[in-house]
Amino acid sequence: MTKQFHTIPPDELAQEPWVRVAMLHLSSRNFTPITLHQKWVRSFLFRLSSRLRVHLKVLVGSEFPVTHSHLAIAVPANEVERFRTNLKKHRIADWWKSQHDPRLEPWDPSLADRGMTYIGIKHALWEETPGVFCPRKAHTCEKGNCPHR
């Protein structure tokens, strides 16, 4: 994976109906194969989505050999309160497979440009962005007709 030193892609996380809610930092042991780290990140995001019962849209930037990722997380506007309420009920560190605890920080709108630049320019963006993680809890989502995908 090569670093990208040009502008970051258009910020889909700031477009309707998505609202940026958090910045997440996930670390693995140094020299963990990047493909394994990416698999762990996807698995963690699926668990986060399902246990918090919200749709997640993410932008992910990673670095190797100090294997870690930084993620900007957005949820639909009508699920923001559920995200915050359910987050208080869970210990998300239990869902991460590495020895390093994940760090989840509330999104600071005043630092939005710095945060997106840090993810997109200092770290290599994933070539295949995970897209939307659906908790599959709503009736339409269970049927495979998720409106957010």
Per-residue pLDDT of the chain (149 residues; tens, 9 = 90+): 444 433 445 566 667 789 999 999 898 888 888 888 888 889 999 999 999 999 999 888 888 777 888 888 999 999 999 999 999 998 888 888 777 778 888 888 777 677 777 777 777 777 777 678 998 888 778 788 888 87
Report the pLDDT value the prediction gives residue 56, as an integer from 0 to 100. 93
Residue 59, domain CATH: 3.30.70.1910
| Domain assignment present for 22 | yes
| Domain assignment present for 134 | yes
Report the pLDDT value the prediction gives residue 3, as an integer from 0 to 100. 43
Task: Give the count of domains, the chain.
Answer: 1
Report the pLDDT value the prediction gives residue 55, as an integer from 0 to 100. 93
- In angstroms, the Cα distances linking 143 to 83, 97, 131 are 23, 30, 19
| Domain assignment present for 3 | no
**Domain ranges, residue 84:** 12-142
Distance CA 77, CA 102 (A): 24
Report the pLDDT value the prediction gives residue 147, as an integer from 0 to 100. 84
**Structure tokens given for 48:** 């986060």
**Structure tokens given for 76:** 């639909």
One-letter amino acid at 125 equals L
Report the pLDDT value the prediction gives residue 48, as an integer from 0 to 100. 92
| Domain assignment present for 6 | no
Distance CA 15, CA 116 (A): 14
| Domain assignment present for 149 | no
Task: Name residue 20's beta-bridge partners.
Answer: 74
